[in-house]
Amino acid sequence: MKKRGVWLAAAMVLLALAAWLMSRGDKEKPTVRPRKIEFPRYPKPAEVERASRRRTLPPLSAPPPGVEAPQWKRDPVLAALPADPKRSAMVFEIEALKESPIMQIWLDCMLARGDERAGVARLKDRYGIDVLEDVERVATSSTGLMVLQGSFEGAKFERERWTTRTYGEKGILYEEKDTGRVVATWGPDVLLLNPRAEPDLVEDAIDRLESTDPAQGSILQEHQAYSDVYGVLSPDDLSRMLPSDQDQLAARIRETVERVEIHVDASEDVAVVAEVAGPAGQEMEDLSKLFGAALSMGRLNAKREDNDELAELLDHAKVETQTRRPPWASKPEEQRFSVDVALPVELLKNLGPCRRDRRDPDGDIEAEPQPAPPR
């Protein structure tokens, strides 16, 4: 299912991740930025209220005597995600992203090009879902499971193409006859997708939504659910994102890192914070220096190769050791450092789908439609 808002949001965060993971470039001295950019390190008051409003699942059952566990309502999107810490998951706040300057610029440009509207219209025609109107947020995981939250009363699944069965108390599963693709609704506002034709993934998600087992967990915790894009990367997934010439860094990540938490703010320029967590000690200190060295080398290579856009992007990247531990990071043996990337809107316009140096099939530079100014 091609979803304009989802995949443009995904492209934005992947571009940011590529800046510090795959491109490599940093300064040890403070970076001079054209204006102050607020990095998403903590939730804003509106995001705290948003998270509280979304806790609609009943609390888990009381834990056994002597075991401390919080007793409060839960967020269904986070509860539906897998609990395996070796997996990765990202959440895209479509409601927030579609109002951001860079998203509006990209959408205006792609509409002008006329190559994206057909996919959105086809999605609405086939499933009765308008991505930009009906979807509030989308969560994806490395298992292949996708969880959408929004308003899906109008979703339609034609009997000629789909078989239908109920599952659990509130789940309805739809399996496409030709492909085996599974879609499920859970109540009026949760949609579960599995493009890999593995119904167990969707059924397991419904089990988690309806479970009251006090041991039930999620890969994403509620204190991590803030900013416009947020999620966690497993060490294995993070190491696989590195280029082949960074084998040493990839090995260090797999050996040392416990998790990487991602937060992206796109309200003005795009600001990305990647918090890398692992056991306290020299290994984490060495890893932060290795990240910085890799970034520095990338910046030098970009300048040597006259890649001005990449060099400018890497000028806004830095590695910082965190001296303050968030209140929820209660483990004294944990140590963190962050990788910050600031992506100016003007730079992203040229790096995104509206870049003006696209080549036509004959290899000639072709002019791209200029995006309209932000609304």
Query: Which residue did the predictor score with more confidence, 285 or 369?
Result: 285
Torsion sign, CA atoms 96, 102, 108, 112? negative
Q: Taking 80 as the threshold, does the pLDDT of residue 242 lie above it?
A: no
| pLDDT, mean of residues 115-126 | 60
Taking alpha carbons only, the member of 122, 96, 159 closest to residue 1 is 122
Q: Taking 70 as the threshold, does the pLDDT of residue 211 lie above it?
A: yes
Q: Starting at the earlier edge strand, list the strands of the sheet with 190-194.
A: 162-167, 171-176, 182-186, 190-194, 146-150, 135-141, 89-92, 229-233, 259-265, 270-279, 334-343, 317-321
User: Can you tell me the distance from the alpha carbon of 375 to that of 370, in angstroms, rounded to the nearest whole number?
Assistant: 15
- Name the pairing type of β-strands 259-265 and 135-141: unpaired
Taking alpha carbons only, the member of 324, 260, 256 closest to residue 289 is 256
Query: Which residue did the predictor score with more confidence, 117 or 343?
Result: 343
At residue 210, the pLDDT reads 93
At residue 319, the pLDDT reads 82
Specify whether the CB–CB gap between 319 and 339 falls below 8 A. Answer: yes
Q: Which residue has the tokens 């693709």?
A: 181
User: Can you tell me the distance from the alpha carbon of 342 to that of 289, in angstroms, rounded to the nearest whole number?
Assistant: 20
| pLDDT, mean of residues 300-316 | 74
At residue 228, the pLDDT reads 93
* Lowest model confidence (mean pLDDT) among 111-120, 314-323, 343-352: 111-120
| pLDDT, mean of residues 140-165 | 90
At residue 59, the pLDDT reads 85
Query: Which residue did the predictor score with more confidence, 245 or 193?
Result: 193
